[in-house]
Structure 1
Amino acid sequence: MLDRLDERARSIPQQTAIRSATPSANLRPDQAQWQEINWQQFKQKIDQTSLALLRHDLPAQTKIGIWSPNMPQWPVADLACQQARLVSVPLYPTDAAQQAEYILNETETPLLFVGEQTQYDNTVKSLSSLPGLKTIVVFDPSVDLKDCPLAIYFDEFIQQGSDAEQAVLDERRSTRSKDDLYTLIYTSGTTGDPKGVKLDYANMAASFRAHDQIINLSPEDVSLCFLPLSHIFERGWSSYVLRMGATNVYLNDPKQVSDALKAVKPTVMCTVPRLLEKAYDGIHKKVTTASPVKRMIFNKAMQAGAANMETLREGSNPTAFRKLVNRVADKAVFSKIRDKLGGQIRFMPCGGARLDPDINRFFHAIGINIKAGYGMTETCATVTCFPDKKFEFDTCGTSLPGIQIRIDDTVETETPGAGEIQVKGDTVMRGYYKKPEETAKAFTNDGWLHTGDAGLIEKSGALRMTGRIKELMKTSTGKYIAPGPIEGMLGKNQYIEQVAVIADDRSFVTALIVPTFEAIEEYARAHNLSYQDRRELVQHSKIQALLKKQLDTVQSGSDLASYQQVKKFTLLPAEFSIEQKELTPTLKLRRNVIAENYKQEIADMYKQEAKV
């Protein structure tokens, strides 16, 4: 990675390496001014930061924290750590102070980069619990340092290095080893304390080699970085983007991604199902309220796009007539949808959760190549990914070159023929930091990684994930329920924002549902429903009836068995949130916390259990 960086600074010094919007609470990304840093400037900033770090007498492999949202200083600090043979430890910008304390103390971090006021204030409040922390380097120059003697702004910090540290830096670079730790990434964890996943340079090199064989990136590409860099998916992808000489654009606030897409016009970017689900819901909501003529045009266009896509997916060439029909559909419908995503997308790796096959088919039909995949922090992200041809929409694609997968069918799962997905290869982690017992539990006796996920391998070799083994619920009647697929299916509905399925040790399935408030508020206005607040709105009999009808429609048209279907539900007046610890930083449900926070609502749904 560092050698590639040096080469870019020599060969294309004036080409843009990274971009970011000027921070402003009042401007959307499509209105903001964008700052650019070329490869020469990028390299210079990294060198300055490396020298400044070494000025603090940090031994090789010292752990350095980065607690910040996505900012241009983030990759500078990360790459400077690599160059100085230090180990970066990213923290989610939304991490609570208590969780940050745990990570910083376990890693004995002496120096911490922080992004904005929130992370800085939480650090200062925790100083009495962080005896090893000696220096706080603040990215955002508008942060109020409040006279803390340990704090310094990033722009001042990078001026601390001098020629005296250059010899040490040269020595560090010459003694680099693939066995060095590259990073410690703490899994957010739905239960228990987070675990630090140890990834070394050999892991990352293997991941890069595998990606070289399945995707094509060039210096002409532009990627939008909106997922948190503290997560392995965005971290690994952004590193690969920079390695290949493409431009990486950093978005500070992921909630502004829709506006940023129009401003940045990325050609590639990694994403998660939720972004695609929201786009899909928004498009279909407009279609349902459009005139009959417009609905007919849309439906005809989708039929043409789907037929064209299926031909290409099978590796064949569409007929001249099919190409003509698809071009007409593209001009009339598809290009307008793609423009909402910037209009230049070549492909989008998608991971982090299961993407509904129908949603994936839709995007492929309109000409957006979604490369669905499967992976985890412990495997440097990607294990499987859609190939260019012959992919199957209800799978996660085939394994990357050099990575093996197998299914342990001795593990009980909901799906016949499925078992635990196990992984082996050079991308698999070295273990969990300071947790030898957890590390031992993570591997089988013959060296395969337990993923904790259930799945099966199709005849084609593609992996189909069926659920999380730890999340598998068993009803009181002995039936197994995988909540993830049910939640994903219900979440496609335009009136449903979030779902938490309840079934463990119960005689039937229920759900806590957070409605899409914009949609139900619009429905309330259209039907002259009066209410004081959202709590009163979700309890309104007409809203309850609306959601029941939506639930019945979705489930009756699905392949869910009767025992898998939601029999009762409760509408919640507020979303599940990270702040209430109901979601992990990667937006996975913390089911035990949700069950505790809503134990009364759950109990009420089962009061007359015997009558259902």
Structure 2
Amino acid sequence: MAKLDFHIVNRIRAQVARLGDRAALRHQAAGQWLDISWREFGAQIHQLALALAGQGLKVQDKVAIFSNNMPRWTIADFATLYNRCVTVPIYPTNTPQQAAYILNDADVRVLFVGEQAQHDAALALADDCPQLERIVVMDESVVLADHPLVCHYRDFIDTYAPQADVAVLARRLDEIRMDDLLTLIYTSGTTGTPKGVMLDYANVASQIESHDQKLALDEGDTSLCFLPLSHVFERAWTFYVLHRGGINCYLSDTNQLKTALPAVKPNVMAAVPRVYEKIYSAVHDKVSRAPLHRKVMFTWAVNMGARMALARQECRPPSWLLQKSYNLADKLVLSKLRDLLGGNIKFMPCGGAKLDESIGRFFHAIGINVKLGYGMTETTATVSCWDDQCFNPDSIGMPMPGAEVKIGENNEILVRGPMVMRGYYNMPEETAKNFTADGFLKTGDAGHFDEHGNLFITDRIKELMKTSGGKYIAPQVIEGAIGKDHFIEQIAVIADTRKFVSALIVPCFETLEAHARELNIKYQDRLELIKHTQIIELIEKRVVELQKDLARFEQVKKFTLLPKAFSMDQGELTPTQKLRRKVIQDRYHQQIEEMYEESHKRSPRPH
């Protein structure tokens, strides 16, 4: 394909013309999964694009989308792009203050909102955003406030599409350019002010080209879209699914993932490590309570799967005996584990954070081709990923075609190539600071290559903690080691300027409460449960075991159990589930200080 053929707007228009009545999008309505054809998808984009033109938007004006996942999210996205305008996604969980900052910094003129929560937040911020001309509500069930800026999606189209000059939209589609700005994605940021990452059509096109060389995604394959479309990972993946003629299935409520999987039976699904960790923990929790013969069969089957996966990774054929043993293990156990994900998975892209090696190995052992990738918003997602075969599961894969990756000062991973952002919007100094003199993006991650060209991350430079004894601690490594346990839901490591490593731990209460019932432990509430001696000793024992492979100075010496999970609502997590460490440390200051007081009566002290 010529370069302009990889322009995502041209790709969508080509698929609309070619695939016609075949399914493009799938969504839930009244408990049923319904299809939207390519022809209808194209018609809805065109209608809304006319309305945006009729509203008076000019080329490269900004349009924001503040919503949970739904087909109209993608329709609004492409209607914006058809006008050569710029889409600015906002996380649906953002506060009015966070959303207002983005709207004002990007000079957004039209805001699409999804459900009642985003509608209400938009009303709360409207007076602080003088440039905002229209708030368009996409969910028909939302009760609209009496406000001059607010209207329903259908009313917006009925009012403004007739006012549009059709020739203007046609001309914009004819004049599309690869160097047009496609989107501004504001990094959620674990600290500091959000930065608007500028990505253009050439950035997205380069990722489409490189993924075509690495992935086997076929026309008609279904992808379950449940990560927030406001994040670069799911949005870029949606672009790729549609480019390939796949069916994008929208899940607006991530709490429904467990029931959606057997209904949708996806072939592919982008997921973050936390999803795999939860499935891994749930499976092992169930096995831990199974009869002995089932435990033995599970262990044997996963071992056979692991040996088969190793043969694939090393590009060697399995022995006759291994093949026969694997076939039996697959029939009795492994296929049933794959059914938890719908039973039709071809491969699953994984990104957003580092996946613990043992969890990655487990999924490959049961026959789920997890394709761990490494990237960031600033690189339009993927920089490197695992191949289907001949890869090192301890690594983050090999660089994608077109990505130039090298190791710089302080072992920092540096990236250059057509997928790298143009810069940060309205922040020339911040942009310059994040690039080397020869044009490489500084990722902030430390790593190295092995002799085969596999890339490894060792730690996050910007998040390294230094103990008072001068030892550097990578908290993610410790959190990854301990957090995979099925009794542990969340963990935040504390170490900076401290004499030893401690942690705040949120137990998995579903598992813990079931265990308490088995032990006949009586308690009034969760706070009383986590103070029970047997519960503290259980977690202590597990923490000791889980971190035995860490250096002594990295090991958690004391921990505090918390009765309530870290949440986005409280500002403790970013929308991509990363810890906001400063918020957590401020909120739990007293509990942290108690762990470092010599006089504290009892804190578990794993060695």
TM-score for the superposition, normalised by structure 2: 0.96
Q: What does residue 4 of structure 2 align with?
A: none
**Contact persistence 2:224–2:250 (CA under 8 A):** yes
Q: How big is the shift at 1:313?
A: 1.6
SS in 2 for 1:152: strand
Q: What does residue 10 of structure 1 align with?
A: 17
1:376 partnered with 2:376: yes
**Contact persistence 1:273–1:351 (CA under 8 A):** yes
Q: How big is the shift at 1:180?
A: 0.5
Partners of 2:554 and 2:163 in 1: CA distance: 67
Partners of 1:158 and 1:222 in 2: CA distance: 30
Partners of 1:171 and 1:162 in 2: CA distance: 17
Letter in 1 for 2:261: L
Q: What does residue 471 of structure 2 align with?
A: 479
Letter in 1 for 2:138: F
1:212 partnered with 2:212: yes
Q: What does residue 251 of structure 1 align with?
A: 251
Letter in 1 for 2:332: A
**Contact persistence 1:420–1:451 (CA under 8 A):** yes
For residues 265-280 of structure 1, the aligned pairs below 5 Å read: 265-280=265-280
Partners of 1:588 and 1:173 in 2: CA distance: 39
Q: What does residue 460 of structure 2 align with?
A: 468
Q: What does residue 560 of structure 2 align with?
A: 570
**Contact persistence 2:63–2:86 (CA under 8 A):** yes
For residues 272-421 of structure 1, the aligned pairs below 5 Å read: 272-408=272-408, 410-411=409-410, 419-421=411-413
Letter in 1 for 2:253: D
SS in 2 for 1:126: helix
Letter in 1 for 2:435: F
Q: Which deviates more from structure 2 when the two are superposed, residues 317-326 or residues 304-313?
A: 317-326
Partners of 1:543 and 1:299 in 2: CA distance: 27
Partners of 2:388 and 2:337 in 1: CA distance: 22
1:239 partnered with 2:232: no
Q: How big is the shift at 1:320?
A: 3.4
Q: What does residue 140 of structure 2 align with?
A: 141
Q: What does residue 96 of structure 1 align with?
A: 95
**Contact persistence 1:224–1:251 (CA under 8 A):** yes
1:127 partnered with 2:119: no
Partners of 1:349 and 1:238 in 2: CA distance: 12
Q: Which deviates more from structure 2 when the two are superposed, residues 296-305 or residues 599-608?
A: 296-305
Q: What does residue 54 of structure 1 align with?
A: 53
CA deviation vs aligned residue, 1:488-535 (integer Å, no higher than 9, x gap): 110111111101101111111000000111111112222222222212
Q: How big is the shift at 1:228?
A: 0.2
**Contact persistence 1:357–1:393 (CA under 8 A):** yes
CA deviation vs aligned residue, 1:358-407 (integer Å, no higher than 9, x gap): 11111111111000111000000000000122111111000000101111
Q: How big is the shift at 1:317?
A: 2.2
Q: What does residue 511 of structure 1 align with?
A: 503
Partners of 1:511 and 1:156 in 2: CA distance: 52
Distance 1:152 1:296, change over 3 A: same
**Contact persistence 2:51–2:164 (CA under 8 A):** no
SS in 2 for 1:249: strand
Letter in 2 for 1:534: R
Partners of 2:514 and 2:120 in 1: CA distance: 39
Q: How big is the shift at 1:609?
A: 8.8
Partners of 2:113 and 2:306 in 1: CA distance: 47
Partners of 2:13 and 2:320 in 1: CA distance: 47
CA deviation vs aligned residue, 1:471-492 (integer Å, no higher than 9, x gap): 1011111111000010011011
**Contact persistence 1:67–1:114 (CA under 8 A):** yes
TM-score for the superposition, normalised by structure 1: 0.95
Q: Which deviates more from structure 2 when the two are superposed, residues 211-220 or residues 224-233?
A: 211-220
Partners of 2:256 and 2:84 in 1: CA distance: 35
Q: How big is the shift at 1:304?
A: 1.4
Letter in 1 for 2:520: N
CA deviation vs aligned residue, 1:200-247 (integer Å, no higher than 9, x gap): 011111111111111121212100000000000000001100011110
Q: Which deviates more from structure 2 when the two are superposed, residues 43-52 or residues 157-166?
A: 157-166
1:579 partnered with 2:535: no
Partners of 2:348 and 2:367 in 1: CA distance: 11
Q: What does residue 538 of structure 2 align with?
A: 546
Q: How big is the shift at 1:72?
A: 0.7
SS in 2 for 1:161: helix
Q: What does residue 443 of structure 1 align with?
A: 435
Q: Runs of 4+ in structure 1 displaced over 6 angstroms?
A: 609-612
Q: How big is the shift at 1:296?
A: 1.3
Determine which of 573, 584, 595 is the counterpart of 2:585. 595
Letter in 1 for 2:202: A
SS in 1 for 2:517: helix
Partners of 1:2 and 1:186 in 2: CA distance: 22
Partners of 1:202 and 1:609 in 2: CA distance: 60
SS in 1 for 2:296: helix
CA deviation vs aligned residue, 1:29-85 (integer Å, no higher than 9, x gap): xxx211210000000000001000000111100000000000010110001111110
1:168 partnered with 2:168: yes
Unaligned runs of 5+ in 2: 1-7
The total of aligned residue pairs comes to 594
Partners of 1:374 and 1:5 in 2: CA distance: 26
Partners of 1:2 and 1:109 in 2: CA distance: 21
Partners of 1:393 and 1:609 in 2: CA distance: 45
Partners of 1:371 and 1:609 in 2: CA distance: 48
SS in 2 for 1:340: helix
Letter in 1 for 2:302: M
Partners of 1:537 and 1:300 in 2: CA distance: 35
**Contact persistence 2:478–2:547 (CA under 8 A):** no
Distance 1:371 1:609, change over 3 A: farther
For residues 191-210 of structure 1, the aligned pairs below 5 Å read: 191-210=191-210
Q: How big is the shift at 1:434?
A: 0.4
**Contact persistence 2:15–2:243 (CA under 8 A):** no
Letter in 2 for 1:603: E
Letter in 2 for 1:494: H
For residues 485-564 of structure 1, the aligned pairs below 5 Å read: 485-556=477-548, 558=549, 560-564=550-554
Q: What does residue 38 of structure 1 align with?
A: 37
**Contact persistence 1:112–1:135 (CA under 8 A):** yes
Q: What does residue 415 of structure 1 align with?
A: none
Q: How big is the shift at 1:546?
A: 1.3
Q: In percent, how many aligned pairs have the same letter?
A: 51
SS in 2 for 1:470: helix
Letter in 2 for 1:20: H
Q: What does residue 71 of structure 1 align with?
A: 70
Q: What does residue 260 of structure 1 align with?
A: 260
Q: How big is the shift at 1:164?
A: 4.5
CA deviation vs aligned residue, 1:521-564 (integer Å, no higher than 9, x gap): 112222222222212221222211111111112123x2x11111
